[in-house]
A and B are shown apart, each in its own frame.
Chain A
């Protein structure tokens, strides 16, 4: 981070003001921790046999792909002032549908079967997202209760689809989506970035993003301004379901098995965490897709680091919970006022930069 001090003051303060700056700092901090444990951690080499890049960094970006997908959906939902707790379960349903289809498909291994499986899984995911959307937008239920029902019922649905089994299937094109490489990089990551760019272009090059944010700030006012919040909400929940479906395909594709009770389990926290790390307030009204991607990368790094340090992977939720509590605290007015009061004598406008505990350390070079 020290190298950036050479870039000039305005550029630096601009960067620090970016909501996801501290996410990037945290990623580097975690990587540094890994390097301390194993100096060759960051090494990325080219496998001469097949031209793939191999290394821990490649593993991290590959693992981040499903998280990026659900984080993007969650960012849009949270921007409307809602929440989608069902993303993990929709991942399981999507995985269950695709695995069951591939298992029963006559010509296993063909690209056609892959396309059909993916299409079917995405349709089912979109339908589940639409159910959430209808309940929230047209029936007027609180988002967390509609999606909580879907979170638990969805996992039940996944179990019903596979008959309670962990269905395995084999289909090379399908597996290629999750495990394959293109120009040396994992296909999943490229696919995730492609989808992010498409979603980003759609919401930011049209008024859609603005309308989503307006709905999140004040649904009544936005309706009076001529926006139709109901249709917009429905769309957002469908998109979230659809992206969770993509994430489900990605995560079952790596092992070609759906584990109905583990696939996507507790991923809703990852999604919320990624979005909050990315600088989106849980109160809604604004979103940052770039921030969500940074958040997802941070979570993937955190996952790998915890494993690398030899802590049981089932304990990772505890660490994530602590991170989310700290982030929520930093967002709260009370904590911000503590910082402002303590710092007013030294700097005139530190509210933005004080949004992290590490700010004291980082402001010294500036």
Chain B
């Protein structure tokens, strides 16, 4: 009641009210131009959903949306991991290879009769170890992030190849597979059910925890501060070395989590799993509005970015006319467009 009579408070507190969308949009941009790419990502996602619904149909329904989440749960986790790293101004090229190593090692250990719960813990731990090595190289030995993580990428993929070069199959009765089973949440009419897997739930938990850590804790603020200016952050007395190592450990650990989610869904691991996923993760993060130079970005934006990429794959499959080989080119193209957009936005701010 009172809100209606005070227009000032409306414009400040309830953006979608009286002044309308355009006014809200303009104000967001003037106070924080770095939000533009995130807004663009949301708009693109909505546009893709509408385009897909109009052109191919059966997009805006529980079934498709559930599958989108189930098939991209691992990518969402990777995008969240990459957000941490990119926010500090770094990069992690090793995520795809870590997944390959962690999956192959995990499935082989599981097949060898190890306790499945221990195997899951180990899969996550393998990722953490790779992340820790990258972090130490970068922080304490001044290796450029992309060189250190490129080396980890080749190390992890080489070790995965050393373990096995053929598809390793997870046995059907392995409890790890339970993480990939589809649980019906809403029993819709015909095939239109809302389905989730424990993997999707894990991804959701990762997103929530990451959101809280980045936007509500001291560690999160330090991550943003390092991306803004590392030396200033150091001068402020914030724990820069610890935090910088931590983001790579987080990235590696979440890669391990993504490996668990992906392996449980497919039941197969191979040394060539995850080639090019680092580009997908970087693209998801960048599309979601995280600045590659660090300092600006949102976890939820990265989730949207991951969904944009996932939906793009759905649309390409539905279309049928676009060859699957084009996928990496299109992903690269989209990434490039968003990096260029960032250039424009950050130039304007300067």
Contact = CB atoms under 8 A, between A and B. Distances in A.
Interface stretch (B37-45, B245-253, B329-337): B329-337
Given A160-B325, A314-B158, A315-B161, 10 more contacts: A144-B91, A145-B282, A148-B279, A282-B144, A282-B147, A283-B144, A321-B154, A321-B155, A328-B143, A332-B141
Contact of B329 (A160, A320, A321, A328): A160
Interface of B: 91, 93, 137, 140-144, 146-148, 150-155, 157-159, 161-162, 165, 271, 276, 279, 282, 292-293, 323-329, 331-333, 335-336, 339-340, 343
A321 B339 CA distance: 29
Given A149-B279, A318-B159, A328-B141, A140 B343 contact: yes
Contacts of A135: 336
B32 to A, nearest CB: 22
A283 B144 CA distance: 8
A309 to B, nearest CB: 13
Nearest to B342: A141
11 contacts: A145-B91, A145-B282, A152-B328, A153-B331, A156-B326, A272-B150, A314-B165, A315-B162, A318-B157, A321-B151, A325-B148
Interchain residue pairs A-B with the least CB separation, the first 9:
A318-B158, A153-B332, A314-B161, A159-B325, A321-B155, A156-B328, A317-B154, A317-B158, A321-B154
Contacts of A282: 144, 147
B143 A153 contact: no
Contacts of A321: 151-155, 158
Contacts of A324: 147, 151, 154
A282 B143 CA distance: 9
A78 to B, nearest CB: 10
Interface residues of A, number: 46
A153 B152 contact: no
Given A153-B329, A318-B159, A325 B142 contact: no
Nearest to A161: B325
B35 to A, nearest CB: 21
Given A152-B332, A328-B143, A332-B143, A141 B325 contact: no
A156 B141 contact: no
B147 to A, nearest CB: 6
A112 interface: no
Contacts of A312: 161-162, 165
Nearest to B347: A140
Chain A interface helix/strand/loop/mixed: helix
A152 B333 CA distance: 10
Interface of A: 83, 85, 135, 139-142, 144-145, 148-150, 152-153, 155-157, 159-160, 163-164, 266, 268-269, 272, 282-283, 311-312, 314-322, 324-325, 328-329, 332-335
Interface centre among B148, B157, B327 (most CB of A within 10 A): B157
B323 A164 contact: yes
A269 B154 contact: yes
Contacts, number: 124
B142 A156 contact: no
Contacts of A320: 154, 158
B343 A328 contact: no
A224 to B, nearest CB: 20
Contacts of A149: 279, 332, 335-336, 339
B152 A156 contact: no
Contact of B150 (A163, A269, A319): A269
Contacts of A155: 328
Contacts of A156: 325-329, 332
A316 B343 contact: no
A294 to B, nearest CB: 20
Given A156-B329, A282-B147, A315 B158 contact: yes
Given A140-B343, A153-B328, A314-B158, A334 B137 contact: no
Contact of B137 (A141, A268, A316, A328): A328
A317 B325 contact: no
A259 to B, nearest CB: 13
A246 to B, nearest CB: 24
A272 B151 CA distance: 10
Nearest to B165: A314
A267 to B, nearest CB: 11
A275 to B, nearest CB: 11
A234 to B, nearest CB: 17
A10 to B, nearest CB: 33
Contact of A141 (B150, B152, B333, B339): B339
A83 B28 CA distance: 36
